[in-house]
Each structure stands twice: as structure tokens, then as C-alpha cells.
Amino acid sequence: MTAPILPGATLGVLGGGQLGRMFAHAAQQLGYRTAVLDADASSPAGLVSHLHVQTGYLDAGGLARMADACAAITTEFENVPADALRTLAARVPTAPAGDAVAVCQDRAAEKALIERCGVPCAPHALIETEAQLAAVADSLLPGILKTARMGYDGKGQVRVRDRAALVAAWTELGRVPCVLEQMLALDFEISLVIARDAQGASVALPIQRNLHRDGILAVTEVPAPGVDAALAERAHDAARRIADGLGYVGVLCVELFVLKDGSLVANEMAPRPHNSGHHSIDSCDVSQFDLQVRCMAGLPLVAPRLHSAALMLNLLGDLWFDPAGREREPDWAAVLALPGAHLHLYGKTEARRGRKMGHLTLTASSPEGARLQVDRAAAILGLPGL
């Protein structure tokens, strides 16, 4: 790309979920047209875009139509086939590159890349065969067995305490290639969303502290409590090393564990904007989706500034059911009566338990104020408090 792609052009995204929808909103705010490739006729991003190519990710005709329509293309989903991105890249600027996404799709390749970049990660072992299963070191147990591919939001993961549980878990997961990670003495998790352009310059969102429930992100808090300047610099250095090692162009989220002894290890990465960065729409002057647009269009990257303390609550489909299992609509009026409440619903037509239906960001002038408001919102919605 020799010159920026200016507003008025069409920017495309593979995947029609909520991340694609928020990308489309950010691009349209700047004056771009948007195109989405997704097989679902009612995909959240497809419903708000100028063009919806309703087909599978590897459909040659659909990819050709996207390449014809778009000045640049990105992805909103880490499991979009890397070959689809490679095919598009032959005709139109594509960020991130298929090769970078392919690394993020395979836990073994991901961990190898992280280690090559000089960033610590959890001790682990690849299990593809009976021999590798038998050779697992005792020091890796207890651990977490994760499928090497297609795992997200806690899917494809089993905690194992001993060898018998490990053998049973590998069978439960279909004896597919897996990575066994040693269970570490975790204090808390943070994430860092970094944006890197084609010249290698990068900026990042403020570090976020995350709380998971049942393997799904539940709460994100920024500024991240417990993260001092030294720890923040180590996290930024780790993310920069990984992005540089991938030759990455676009928005990348790196999840990191802070251990009880204060050390920092990389957990995993996502080659796209991330659930934990959604607060940036309301808490920062530049959101992660603005950065995604800027990266793919070759526009200047500016460091986001946090103007409000924020906590974000994930809104899962469980909220649409009462204790007896009857469908209901959450009390949005009561939620929106709270100062600093920013409700984002994704336009999904069916609520299902565990399905991400939206998020709620509570902003305030101080972290204490944001925590007070999130507790009030959680009480209204029937969610656990902090």
C-alpha cells in the first residue's frame, strides 16, 4: 500500500458477528462503505453494511466479489480460514495476513512463536500421539488440556489433575492434537490490544484486567487494578515483541497472566479486536475498531487516551431467561437510568445461554465510581457482583 485508502472507499471484513458489526460502525463513522462476507443472512455485521456477500469463507465466487468491491479487507474471527485471506491478498490489501492468522489458529505454533520472540509462556507439551501422551512430564500436572485448533471462550479445554484424567480428557476431546499447559499460580489476567501498521509502528490501548466465568470473559476493568508502571511496561514489551515477530499489520490482542510471584507469562493471542477491548468505544478517544480501520486503510495511528475509568460487563443470552427458563427481556430502562451506562446490543435474533448478545460499559470519573455503577447494574440484571 503506497497511499492511504481514503473515506468513500469500501472496506471489507470476513465474518459477520459482533466484532464485524462494530468494525462496520467505526468505518462508516469515518465515511467508508463496508462489505461483509458471512453465510448467515441475519449476521449482525451483514445487517448494517452496504454489501453482504452471503456465502462461505472459501467460496471462490464470494471471495472474488469481495476483492472486486473492496479497497482493503480484514477479519473479525480468528477461525476464518487463513487460505481465504491468502486468496484475497493476491488481489487486494489484506490485514492481518493469512500467515499471521494461521499461527494464531494453532496453539502449538502460537506458543512456539511466543517463545521465539523471547516472551515467557506456561510450560507445555504437544500431544498428537500415544507416545507423546505417555511422555508428558510429571511437572506439567495438574494442567489444562487444550485442543490445538478451534478453541475459544473456554471451548476445547479440560482441567486435568493426574495422568488418568489426562488420558480421559484426550479421549473426550476426540484424540485430536492438543497442548497440555501446566496450571500456574495465577494472581489475575490482563490483556493488551496493540495496533501495528505496515511500517512497524504500533500503539496500544490501556492495559485491561479481566475476570472470566465458565471460561467466558465476564468483566473487564480499566485502569487495570494491580498493574504498576513496571508491569505495564513488561506487558507492552511482550505485545510489541509478538506483533513484530509476526510481522503483524492490524489489531492484535495478547492475553497475559500475572502470577502470584509477580512474573508475567503470555497465555494466547487473537488476531483481531477483542472482547476485553470493547470498553474503548466509550472510555477512550480512539477505540480498538478505529485502530482496525486505520491499520487496514494506511491511516496514521495515534495512541488512544483513556478519558474515563470503565468496567465492561459481557451480556450473555442467559439474561433473557428467568429462573424458570421462561424468555424475558432484561430491564434495560433501569440499566440505562444509571449515569455512565453505555449499552451495546449486537442485533442477534435469538438469545441462547452462553451466547454473547451484547455488552454494557459503565464509565465514571474514577475507578471507584465505575465499580459502584457496575455493582448497581449487576444487581439490576441479576449478575454476580465484583
Give me the residue spans of the domains in the chain. 10-94, 123-182, 185-307, 309-386
pLDDT for residue 157: 87
Classify domain 309-386 by CATH number.
Answer: 3.30.470.20
Residues at the binding site are 107, 146, 151-157, 181-184, 189, 212, 267-268
The architecture that CATH gives domain 185-307 is: 2-Layer Sandwich (3.30)
Which residue ranges make up the annotated binding site for ATP? 107, 146, 151-157, 181-184, 189, 212, 267-268
Q: Whole-model pTM?
A: 0.95
Would the CATH topology of 185-307 be identical to that of 309-386? yes
Cα–Cα–Cα angle for 258, 259, 260, nearest 5°? Answer: 130
pLDDT of residue 385: 77
Q: Which three cell numbers stand for residue 54?
A: 452471503
N residues, the chain? 386
**Going by CATH, does the domain composed of 123-182 fall within 3.30.1490.20?**
yes
CA terminus-to-terminus distance, the chain = 46
Q: Taking a C-beta distance cutoff of 8 angstroms, is the pair 335, 381 a contact?
A: yes
Grid cell in block for residue 114: 511466543
CA triple 360-363-365, angle to 5 deg: 170
Architecture of domain 10-94: 3-Layer(aba) Sandwich (3.40)
Low-confidence ranges of the chain (pLDDT < 70): 1, 151-154
pLDDT tens digits for range 286-308: 999 999 999 999 999 999 999 99
